[in-house]
Amino acid sequence: MADVTLTTLRGLKQNGEKIVMLTCYDATFAAAACAAGVEVLLIGDSLGNVLQGHDSTLPVSVADMAYHTACVKRGNQGALILTDLPFMSYATLEQALDSSAALMRTGAHMVKLEGGAWLGETVRRLAENGIPACVHLGLTPQSVNVFGGYKVQGRDEARAREMREAALALEQAGAAMLLLECVPSALAAEISRSVRIPVIGIGAGVDTDGQVLVLHDMLGLNPRPAKFVRNFMTGQASIQDALSAYTQAVKNAQFPAPEHGFSA
């Protein structure tokens, strides 16, 4: 696979070809995902749940994220590496720059922040300092205590309008990508059409520019999977086959199916 860059991803969106993203936390799975054609490896703070055994992502540190980013970098074979900024590591501009610099030095090509339009100045300052940013909208797990649980976001018109406006404002501020989680499929499709930057979905329907899942979820290792998850190990002889099946299902717009999405 030729090296994937932001230019590559923008080209895929312009050509109507789906982008394949998957979480990854180590060198072995990085190499396997690349062999399957995964274009973006997300070192998610979901490692707090699936690797560390926490009940949320909140305990994860910048040092944890840097360690796993370095591991993934060693196994990467051309994918773009996107790393989450963990909880309270970007509360101020200075924090955001310092935390992002630490992750970029260990191998990230882009960082991901959770929030809304209020992140505009942070995104702008990161871009000015050579750090591309992906902004995570909708259900943002770092704010689970504010939301009162893991709930679909944007079902009422006020929240939907706020999300639409945030997407446009963040693109204007210089965001390189958006990620929508647990958002009604119709709203996610509308937002994807309204911006020029790639929009990745998880629980946001098939009409975003690409899809992401947590590696352990798509391999069927979560005993209580979310509605938007499909077990790609079903019917496959190996993990490598499951990774390839995921890539093909995303590329062919066969995943997510309607039953994996949410209505308004």
The domain spans of the chain are: 6-260
Is position 181 annotated as part of the catalytic site? Answer: yes
Binding residues for Mg(2+): 45, 84, 114
Whether pLDDT at 223 is above 70: yes
- More confident of the two residues 71 and 141: 71
Binding residues: 45-46, 84, 112, 114
In this prediction, residues 179-207 reach a mean pLDDT of 98
Model confidence pLDDT, tens digit, residues 91-143: 999 999 999 999 999 999 999 999 999 999 999 999 999 999 999 999 998 88
* Claim: this prediction has a pTM higher than 0.95: yes
The rounded mean pLDDT for the chain is 96
What kind of architecture, by CATH, is found in domain 6-260? Answer: Alpha-Beta Barrel (3.20)
Beta bridge partners of 113: 135
Sequence-separated (6 or more) residues with CB below 8 Å from residue 188: 180, 199, 201, 204, 205, 207, 208
CA dist 154 and 194 (Å) reads 16
DSSP string, 90-154: SSSHHHHHHHHHHHHHTT-SEEEEE--GGGHHHHHHHHHTT--EEEEEES-GGGHHHHTSS----
pLDDT at 264: 86
pLDDT at 2: 85
Binding residues for 3-methyl-2-oxobutanoate: 45-46, 84, 112
pLDDT at 1: 74
The catalytic position among 39, 128, 171, 181 is 181
